[in-house]
């Protein structure tokens, strides 16, 4: 195998690696976008729960304000408030988990993007070197042709004088 073939093979290999790195970076970008959407959904759900909780608490307090409440009513209100608190804590945990996951995916996305940029830079360098090598080979071939032409002209000139 010639050096030209080795260089061509290296360029093809680098191009294949670049495609894989680009695809991997794009998949990670999509995963990150998905985690951002999940985080936004969790925050939206939390806001909706906060509004629902506010309305339910207002309803409970207005019932309490309407007149005396017995022990069962108080326990039911306390249970309802406790359920609302429990649901709020679960939503907060879900938001924190989604935020952690989003940060992890963002970090991974940045790492893969940096890796892609490094590979792109290396690939570009190889292409530049290949182009320089091609120009040098063309220049060398042109010089060889020029030398051969001059030798052919000299050889004709010698034949005439003999």
Instruction: Evaluate if pTM is beyond 0.85.
Output: no
Percent of the chain with pLDDT over 90: 55
Residue 75 structure tokens: 């326990």
Q: What angle do CA 43, 47, 50 make, to 5 degrees?
A: 135
Tokens of 51: 């509004």
What is the chain's mean pLDDT, rounded?
A: 89
Domains of the chain: 3-127 (1.10.287.1700)
Q: What is the pLDDT of residue 23?
A: 93
pLDDT 10s digits, 124-159:
998 898 899 889 999 999 999 999 888 888 877 766
CA distances to 27, 60, 64, 82, 93 from 89, rounded to whole Å, are 32, 20, 25, 11, 6
Per-residue pLDDT tens digits for 2-18:
777 888 888 888 889 88
């Amino acid at each position: 195998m010639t050096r030209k073939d080795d260089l061509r093979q290296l360029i093809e290999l680098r191009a294949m690696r670049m495609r894989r790195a680009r695809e991997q970076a794009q998949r990670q970008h999509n995963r990150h976008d998905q985690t951002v959407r999940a985080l936004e959904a969790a925050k939206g759900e939390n806001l909706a729960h906060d509004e629902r909780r506010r309305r339910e608490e207002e309803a409970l307090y207005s019932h309490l304000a309407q007149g005396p409440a017995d022990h069962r009513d108080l326990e039911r209100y306390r249970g309802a408030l406790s359920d609302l608190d429990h649901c709020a804590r679960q939503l907060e945990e879900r938001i924190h988990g989604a935020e952690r996951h989003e940060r992890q995916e963002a970090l991974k996305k940045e790492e893969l993007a940096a890796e892609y940029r490094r590979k792109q830079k290396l690939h570009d360098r190889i292409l530049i070197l290949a182009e320089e090598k091609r120009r040098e080979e063309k220049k060398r071939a042109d010089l060889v042709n020029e030398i051969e032409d001059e030798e052919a002209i000299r050889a004709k000139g010698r034949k005439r004088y003999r």
